[in-house]
Chain A
Amino acid sequence: MTYGSAWAAATIPVWVALSATGGAHAEAAQALQAEVEQALPGRIDWRVAHWSSFTSAVPEPQWVVAVGTGAQRAMQNLFARDTTPPPLLSILVPRLAFERMADPVRLRAGSLSAVYLDQPPWRQLELIRLALPNVRKVGMLVGAESKGHLPALEKAAKERGLELTAAAVEADGLFEALQSVLPNADVLLALPDPAVFNSQTAANILTAAYRRQVPLLGFSPAYVKAGALAALYSTPAQVGVRGGESLRLALTGKALPAPQWPREFVVAVNQDVARSLGFALDESLIEQQLRQKERP
């Protein structure tokens, strides 16, 4: 046994399974590692790889972090037969995807948690209130998938005096849905749902909304670039940091926190679109006000 491996034995083995080896997933993983390393320098024996490289459940790690939907599914499956699987922290997953996959038994037992990628409903509606104080009617296009967000959004809207109008996009009924929702909306709130918002439909939705002078609020920087008035999102690094905080707490003996929303976020504004629609928005100011609302 070498000196190095002896030291390694004293460390905590943590797997970080990535859904993809580069891009957002890697960025989130790095932020998570950095966050943990800062508190517990050198204490972790990281094994960071694409989920497909983790072919065997042995030697079992102490903790598993899954970055992204694919990795979460793979890690759950890998330890499916294990009666005492290592705790799994899933980060960078949309809430609906997480909830669909999550094993309720493990969830209840506290050995499975998540830091979501999406934004909490109250934050989305609070943004509307801050950035667009005259808006009362919030329109949404929902598919089978994003319908799941409605109850929480309805509740958050009611608390803020906003009115939600959702049009269901049936198969090939995008234009009909737009025609029914746009006349009754002061703003269109985009909810991730590949059946509704995808690279093919984004152009149709953005142009139709723009022609009616209805601004769109997106959920990713790509939407702001494409022509949404603004977007609210958390960067992979912000999600990773939040994940790192959870893991750090768990490593120091505390329980794994319940699934949570990312705490940090970004408000991005497309100033060309804002100018054209007659809005004056200061993204850093809105971001700051929104943060103050949450953490006064």
Chain B
Amino acid sequence: MLSRRLFAVLSAPTLALLSSSAGAQEVSEKDYFDDLPVVLSVSRLAQPIKEVPGSVTVIDRDTIRRSGAREVAEVLRLVPGFLFTSRNGANPQASYHSGMDVFGSRMQVYVDGRSLYSSFYLGDTHVGLRGLVLEDIERIEVLRGSNSASYGANAFLGVVNIVTRNAADSHGTMVSATVGDKGIEDNVVRHGWGDHNASFRITAARRKDHGIDRLYDDSHISRLQFRADWLPSADDEVMLQLGAGETARGDGEGLAGNPFRTIGQSDLYFLLHWQRQLAPDEKLELRASHERESFVDKALLTGNIGGPVSAFNDSSGSVQRTELSLQHALPLSPALRLAWGGEWRYELLDAPFLYFMAGSVSLHQWRGFATLEWRPHEQWLLQASGMQEGHSYTGSAFSPRLAANFHLTPDHTLRAGVTKSQRSPTFYELRADTRLFNLTPGNFIVPVGAQIPVVGWLYRSSGTVKAESLITHELGYLGHFREANLKIDARAFVERMNDRITVEGRTVQNPALPAFPWTNVRDFVNRPGPHLHGFEYQFDWRPLPDTRLVLAEMHIRSKPGAFVDEGLEAPTRSNSLAWFQKLPGNFDFTAISTASTPFKWAAGGDLINTPRRLDIRLGMPFALGATRGEASVTVQAINGGHQIYKLDQRFDRRAFATLRLDF
């Protein structure tokens, strides 16, 4: 070998070869014959939608940008079955099938696998959703339906999976500024850098507006986020995220029992995700996260019981959450795949005035799950999954799911599934004890520091409430008509909710003042819930290369369980129609129209016939040398305003302009 190399080096042609190819990288046949590592192995490929055991709507980054939305909740209007409202301008919320909760406590939201579900108060996802920076989102995948068997408790009515952009996809600097009506003022600054092995991104964003006219509902959201993606080897991927944020939201109705106030929230989180490919079709994932969230919500309530009384209703407090999870997916045989894993979660909460205690409350949750996917024939895909969960307070529960996908042809799939899901009661539903103490000196009935009679005991949970459950039967169809460029996704469903957690007022005797018992002390109890049935569909059609029309529609009937009102919590019909058009001159035009028949949101909503809301957006992408950018104008509710949540609340027309530069 040595002699041959020596010979080769000494021969004249080699010298010529060396001198000409040493500097520049020139193409040779080597480029064609060199081997490459397997990059997109089966375990790294996303499951095609037709093989998912449920109905999924995916909204990509371009659609989000072109929708003109400033909030994730607004983007979700494009998903069949999703309803949108704003309890006030600072609390926009989207919810699947039913207006039964305005805080998103029956929906599960994951951001890169980290749950946004906050168990602090009544359980919610809406505050966390508001904190997301749309510019950092790669896509939103919405599982329409319930799936506690795969996602655990609270994956009840809809699971929203948000995937943020890989740091490798956002190198460079981006700045964006939005100004508009109603005090709209949004800014994003982002910088990304890195090399072949590791990429980093830091994003700072804030979002401000005055909300809805005539309401005390200004909001101001600020966030700082960091993401690192590291490839330590060809088989490993590591992602690290750090984030911090603050929101200030106006709330209250200016009433003695619900005064105007600003609710402050701040949070910090850390997320580490490690994925290792053990074989081309086998992978192991580990995820660890920790977050801290604190709230400041103090309201001075006033009243009169033989003279003025006043009290702080202090819903402030903090919560910490730690989660560890592991998942392993592997083939058992060519036709059989298994995914199994477990999760452990610990929560610690401090809110002395919500729980009438000086110390903290904590809970542990653990989960074990397995999904078996069997392909007995190329047209059939059968999936069985189950999750066993344990909860410090409510004990253990099992959520099963069975689904079958049948491919009539490669482009047409029928699906059927049955599943049982659950929503765990929150800390507050289990342990609430919120009392009011008189702060006003001089009242002859209630001394300072004493509990106010009559309305002075707001919540007292008996702790007997159990998890809500939802049994879903569904049939689905997914079709792709390639010649017509049309995709159809339809789902028919029967969702039977049981043990809905609701409040019930009780009267508690007052030994000190028997004439003034505490009335309407609210406890949480289970009641039969509504039975929902109906169907929803989405047509995603590209009739011309520059035209895309997306129609999403839901028809639903709600049969009330315990309350007559439950029948009104879902509109009989709701729809959204989005038109994305590329215009000559490279303009991007979008029109999104949404409408629903009358329905009312729970927790104080009025029966409202939501008129059609039409949003339009015109964007103009441009390039100035190496700088790319986009200028856009969006008008929301261009067709006028409409009532939202309450009869006397109007979402008025608002316009804003955005300039975005990437360099």
Contact = CB atoms under 8 A, between A and B. Distances in A.
Interface of A: 19, 23-25, 51-52, 55, 68-70, 73-74, 77-78, 92-94, 96-97, 100, 117-118, 134, 136, 143-146, 172, 174-176, 178-180, 183, 192-195, 197-204, 206-208, 210-213, 219-220, 222-223, 225-227, 233, 236, 270, 272-273, 275-278, 280
Contacts of A197: 31
B7 A77 contact: no
Given A77-B16, A197-B31, A226 B37 contact: yes
A178 B26 contact: no
Contacts of A93: 28-29
B3 to A, nearest CB: 12
30 contacts: A24-B29, A25-B29, A52-B8, A68-B28, A69-B28, A74-B14, A74-B17, A77-B13, A94-B27, A146-B27, A178-B169, A193-B27, A194-B28, A194-B31, A199-B37, A201-B196, A203-B37, A206-B39, A206-B40, A208-B168, A211-B169, A220-B31, A220-B32, A226-B37, A226-B39, A272-B45, A275-B48, A276-B40, A278-B480, A280-B411
B194 A175 contact: yes
B60 A222 contact: no
Given A117-B32, A118-B32, 6 more contacts: A51-B13, A96-B27, A202-B39, A203-B234, A219-B31, A273-B45
A233 B37 CA distance: 19
A292 B608 CA distance: 62
B101 interface: no
Contact of A280 (B36, B40, B410): B410
A250 B95 CA distance: 76
Contact of B36 (A195, A212, A225): A225
Contacts of B37: 199, 202-203, 226
Contact of B28 (A97, A219, A272): A97
Given A172-B195, A275-B48, A278-B48, A180 B628 contact: yes
B36 A276 contact: no
Given A203-B234, A226-B38, A280-B411, A77 B12 contact: yes
Interface string B96-116: 000000000000000000000
Contacts of A94: 27-29, 31-32
A19 B48 contact: no
A207 B38 CA distance: 11
A56 to B, nearest CB: 11
A117 B29 contact: yes
A13 B300 CA distance: 105
Contacts, number: 172
Nearest to A216: B40
B33 A220 contact: yes
Contacts of A222: 33-36
Interface of B: 4, 7-8, 11-14, 16-17, 20, 24-42, 44-49, 51, 60, 62, 138, 166, 168-172, 194-196, 199, 231, 234, 410-411, 480, 482, 485, 542, 545, 628, 662
Given A183-B62, A194-B27, A200-B196, A276 B39 contact: no
B354 to A, nearest CB: 42
B9 to A, nearest CB: 10
Contacts of B12: 77
A199 B47 CA distance: 26
A227 B48 contact: no
B17 A70 contact: yes
A202 to B, nearest CB: 5
Nearest to A148: B27
B166 A211 contact: yes
B38 A73 contact: no
A204 B662 CA distance: 21
Pairs A-B, 5 closest by C-beta atoms? A227-B40, A74-B13, A276-B45, A192-B31, A226-B36
B17 A179 contact: no
A265 B44 CA distance: 29
B198 to A, nearest CB: 11
Nearest to B4: A52
B168 A193 contact: no
